[in-house]
Amino acid sequence: MTPLPTTVHFLGAHGASPDGIVAWIAAAGTPAADLQLTVGGRPHPLGDSWTTFGAGGFAVRAQRITIEGLPPGRDHPLRLIANGELVASAEASTLPAALPSPPDRPFTILLGSCFSVLQDAACLVGAAVERLPAVARPHVTILCGDQVYLDSPALHFLACTHSRDELAQEHLQRYLTTWSQRSDLGGFQRVLTAADTFFCSDDHDLWNNAPNAAPYVRDTWTAEGCRAWREVAIALFELFQAPRQGEIFAVGALSCFVADTRLARTADRVSFMTAEQMTELGQWIRGLDGPGLLVVGQPVFVGETGWRGQFFDRGLADYRQYAELVRVVSSTPHDLVILTGDVHFGRFATCELPSGRRVHEVISSPLALVHRIAAGKWGKAVEAFPAVAVPTVAQAPVSTASYQRIDEHFLTLGFTGVGASVHMDVTAWPVRVGSGPWGEPVASTVLH
Amino acid sequence: MLRVVRASTATAPNRQLTELRARKGEGNASWLRRTSASSGIVLFGGTSVADLRLRFAQSVFRDDLTPSHWSLAGLLVDEATFLSVPLDLEGDVSAVPPSNGIRTCAVADHDDPDRYPNVAVLHFAAEGDAVQSAVEQVRRQRSLLDIPALIVAWLGYVWAVDDRDPLASGHGIPSAAFVEAVHSVANIELTPGVASASSCPEAIWQSAKWWDGYYRESARLAAAPGVPRSPGHAVPQVPSGRYVIRRPVAQSAPDG
């Protein structure tokens, strides 16, 4: 791999609570001996324990530090200082104790997925986030899959096979290229440092249609190749993105569960998450005392893909565990909003359950399209949820809103609390100027 | 099209919303005095062409798809006056933006039972001035609710310049959007079954009639031990009110 000229430091806020934030600190190369972290202008000690990922004689080290005892709803900007100079910075804030009421600025989540750094040479995604008006700036960023395309460019991975160490070098290089992308106007680093960030994975954080073999990724044609790729990809995902699956955060009565439907997926069409995570998800939904947000890597309002799924892209409904997910979702005691990506188009759909509760599905994809042949073909959601028969669950009609996008974009979701209700306003923002209105209203609804 | 209204799960209407029949020849000012109401929300259902078009536009909010009983919403200031956003043009149009379209209206101007056969007075907040205090915020902050934009959209519909129902595109009826925004600032959800952008008098009426369970829960949460009450927030209550509907289905005025 091409080593970076000097040590590069990274900083981010990976998770938050009303009284704390989680600082993620990484160094590509040897961390500076006098590295200092400041939180809201105050020095905070670094930990001694670094997780290290090495490849080709080069190493990246990272650690996460939880800072507690902070007042809720406040900005606590993070700064990393080495040799007396600022080497990295990130926005961070504690979550508000309750949802704001009008006229205060809504609690805002930025939702995006599918970022191919090779297709964003002009750093447009970060520039678009930078341009957001103050009222739409995120408190939390959720990146719901394919933050890196480890299997791109496709021709390279079709032409060559790799040893484990070669995979480690190439994949680490891809992470460093993606995480360090910056320009005067933007860059993906701007997205990663704009707010407290939560991650869930999807296939390209491993390889297309993982864990099944991908036709254009020769390394995945053998069990040994799959295993090596998987070990490297998961180690990097845990180092740079999320060390654990099933993170939960809450603002007042609004609660969010960031699930992962890829890393533990089985090739035999049985499950897409661990039994433990499904149990935690069920407990979270049953315990909701207000509306819930469920982050998953792929849409839920889908049918089975059939034989094509073996070679291209299996969806959640192709797995036996989907029935369990349907039961859990259908049992929600409050309205639920599913946040997802993957499909390279934007869509908003709603299912009114027999219980009277509503399940909305919001799709935000892509941020930077990996290749024009992967351009999304917008389609309506399935007519009923679940589209496949699930014993003991009654089907309910699904309405697809007229909103549709196939360009590169991201969404913001603004939440305000009024009485026992939560108002949600969803807005779409194009990455490329001229590809659509700047700030297109997608949906405005009340959650109970 | 996505359904813009969600149905309440209530099986019976709110018992605290009761009819107060009008006496023979009684005007609305006299009827309102008999309710003893000097605050709260007032709804009127009018019979002008503009009123009828507004009432018809709200039929999508009713299961039976009949026109709404209501065409105007306002906030009572006292027994004789209320704040609202009527579509009637009056005075200098230059005055609309600075006031965000909000006007002080006289109950006496809405006294004629032939012109306004339907009246209701509704209370969603317990005693307190939080709702009235919120009026100034809505008046001063057009960014909070751009009422002139709603007025333009609804005048276009009323005059058949654009026959698409503004409610379908998220433009609430100005008077109701104003009343809802004021309650929203005071932390009272006025239309739990509707996205706020689609405010209309019918939605407020439906909330009072069918969503008492929701407000019972809101009141319980607000009164829970340890829950601090934010400044400017009102205390929610189960809606109560009186109404008279002299013409249940929209009809033209007698001379029409």
CA A432 to mean position of chain CA atoms: 21
Q: Which of A31-35, A279-283, B176-180 has the lowest mean pLDDT?
A: A31-35
A7 touches chain B (CB under 8 A): no
According to the model, what pLDDT value does residue A413 have? 98
| DSSP structural state of residue B5 | B
Residue A319 has pLDDT above 70, yes or no: yes
Backbone angles phi, psi at A10, to 5 degrees: -125, 155
Residues 6+ apart with CB under 8 A from A273: A245, A259, A260, A261, A264, A265, A281, A321
End-to-end CA distance of chain A: 52
CB contact at 8 A, A218 and A161: yes
User: ipTM of the assembly?
Assistant: 0.71
CB contact at 8 A, A311 and A366: no
- What is the Cα Rg of chain A in Å? 21
* pLDDT greater at residue B180 or residue A437: B180
Give the tens place of pLDDT for each residue, A230-259.
999 999 999 999 998 899 999 999 999 999
- pLDDT, averaged across chain B: 89
Residues of B whose CB is below 8 A from A448: 192, 214
Q: Residue B223: closest CA among chain A residues belongs to which residue? A: A419
A375 touches chain B (CB under 8 A): no
According to the model, what pLDDT value does residue A48 have? 85
Between A and B, how many CB-CB pairs are < 8 A? 71
Residues of A whose CB is below 8 A from B233: 101
Residue A406 has pLDDT above 50, yes or no: yes
Q: Report the residue from A102, A423, A448 with minimal CB separation from B185.
A: A102
A51 forms beta bridges with A62
A402 touches chain B (CB under 8 A): yes
Residue B197 has pLDDT above 90, yes or no: no
E-assigned strands of B40-172? Answer: 41-45, 72-76, 81-84, 103-106, 118-125
Q: Residue A443: closest CA among chain B residues belongs to which residue? A: B195
Residues of B whose CB is below 8 A from A441: 170
Give CA separation, B1 vs A350, A442, B126, B161, in Å: 11, 13, 37, 23
Residues 6+ apart with CB under 8 A from B33: B79
Q: What is the rounded CA–CA span in Å between residue A99 and residue A109? A: 12
Q: What is the rounded CA–CA span in Å between residue B170 and residue B195? A: 8
CB contact under 8 A, B6 and A356: yes
Residues of A whose CB is below 8 A from B7: 356
B139 CA: distance to closest CA in chain A (Å): 12
**Where does the pLDDT of residue B2 fall: very low under 50, low under 70, confident under 90, or very high at 90 and above?**
very low
**Where does the pLDDT of residue A309 fall: very low under 50, low under 70, confident under 90, or very high at 90 and above?**
low
Q: Residue A417: closest CA among chain B residues belongs to which residue? A: B187
CB contact at 8 A, A341 and A146: yes
Task: Give the SS3 label for residue A58.
Answer: strand
Give the tens place of pLDDT for each residue, A61-85.
999 999 999 999 999 999 999 989 9
Give the tens place of pLDDT for each residue, A176-222.
999 999 988 889 999 999 999 999 999 999 999 999 999 989 999 99
Give the tens place of pLDDT for each residue, A7-21.
899 999 998 899 999
Model-level pTM? 0.87
CB contact under 8 A, B7 and A445: no
Q: What is the rounded CA–CA span in Å between residue B206 and residue A417? A: 21
Give the tens place of pLDDT for each residue, A139-188.
999 999 999 999 998 888 998 899 999 999 999 999 999 999 998 888 99
Q: What is the rounded CA–CA span in Å between residue A61 and residue A67? A: 20
Residue B229 has pLDDT above 80, yes or no: no
According to the model, what pLDDT value does residue A19 have? 95
According to the model, what pLDDT value does residue B162 have? 86
Q: Residue A102: closest CA among chain B residues belongs to which residue? A: B185
CB contact at 8 A, A436 and A430: yes
Q: What is the rounded CA–CA span in Å between residue A131 and residue A146? A: 23
A41 touches chain B (CB under 8 A): no
**Cβ count near A137 (within 10 Å):** 16
Place of tokens 């590809």: A435
A15 CA: distance to closest CA in chain B (Å): 26
Q: Report the residue from B6, B141, B218 with minimal CB separation from A103.
A: B141
Peptide bond into A100 cis (omega under 30): no
Q: Whose CA is closest to B233, among A102, A254, A96?
A: A102
Q: What is the rounded CA–CA span in Å between residue A21 and residue A18? A: 8
A446 touches chain B (CB under 8 A): yes
A83 touches chain B (CB under 8 A): no
- pLDDT, averaged across chain A: 93
CA angle A423, A428, A431 (to 5 degrees): 150
**Cβ count near A27 (within 10 Å):** 23
Q: Whose CA is closest to A61, among A83, A43, A39, A46?
A: A46
Give the tens place of pLDDT for each residue, B138-168.
999 898 899 999 999 999 999 999 888 899 8
According to the model, what pLDDT value does residue B250 have? 47
Which residues on chain B place their C-beta less than 8 Å from a C-beta of chain A? 1-3, 6-7, 9, 137, 141, 143-144, 170, 181, 184-185, 187-189, 191-197, 214-215, 217-218, 221-222, 230, 233, 236
A352 touches chain B (CB under 8 A): yes
Q: Whose CA is closest to A211, among A130, A159, A270?
A: A270
Residues of B whose CB is below 8 A from A362: none
**Contact map slice: A 87-106 vs B, CB within 8 A:** 101-103
B182 CA: distance to closest CA in chain A (Å): 9
Interface residue of A361, A380, A421, A447 to substitute, partner B, most B CBs within 10 Å: A421
- The number of residues making up chain A comes to 448
Give the tens place of pLDDT for each residue, A362-386.
999 999 998 887 887 899 999 999 9
End-to-end CA distance of chain B: 35
Q: What share of chain B is helix, strand, coil (3-state, %, to 5)?
A: 40, 15, 45
Residues 6+ apart with CB under 8 A from A112: A125, A141, A142, A143, A144, A191, A341, A364, A365, A367, A410, A411
CB contact at 8 A, A181 and A189: yes
Q: pLDDT exceeding 70 applies to what percent of chain A? A: 98
Give CA separation, A389 vs A105, A333, A386, B120, in Å: 42, 22, 7, 48
According to the model, what pLDDT value does residue B254 have? 47
Q: What is the rounded CA–CA span in Å between residue A140 and residue B5? A: 29
Place of tokens 């002299």: B246
Q: Whose CA is closest to A44, among A15, A14, A79?
A: A79
A399 touches chain B (CB under 8 A): yes
